[in-house]
Structure 1
């Protein structure tokens, strides 16, 4: 291997492979961190939504107990978080409250 051109070729090839491996490792780590941040953000959003729903449920229960209302249904749907069920139950609760408000105003 005394030919300088041949040595330069192998040196260049080894350098290109090493740089390629470094770039691959950097991109892989970057994408991994990005996915991790995305998952953490989704979990924070889920926890925040759950806290808001629990607070609203406590407020509804507190309002119902202070007004003497006898609602026995859960105001926010099943525990699995079915959004459509929650929306339907909230709409029904709003309709019931509007009816009670109209009856109160007509007295």
Structure 2
């Protein structure tokens, strides 16, 4: 087998993960919208507490922190796996992009904390 199958399978797995995430997120948003429509049909006042319980209101600060930590850990894992298979330069090249994205999300999180 060719060595090209490793990055090809990685790209396929990443694509599948993104597609599944989009589909699940879309389904969740659709169900929340149906619930809100049912509440409006029953003429129930929709308060921020109800929206928070439905999961429509998510703190951007928390999301930035989670994304930042997840992306940094993916970047570090890529570098570590590159070291394990004696391809540190390749691991660094692949892991640098998610690592820097994670740092950017952590900076956004920190700036949002300081804004309050």
TM-score of the two chains, using structure 1 as the length reference: 0.44
Looking at both structures, which has the greater relative contact order when contacts are Cα pairs under 8 Å and sequence separation is at least 6? 2
TM-score of the two chains, using structure 2 as the length reference: 0.41
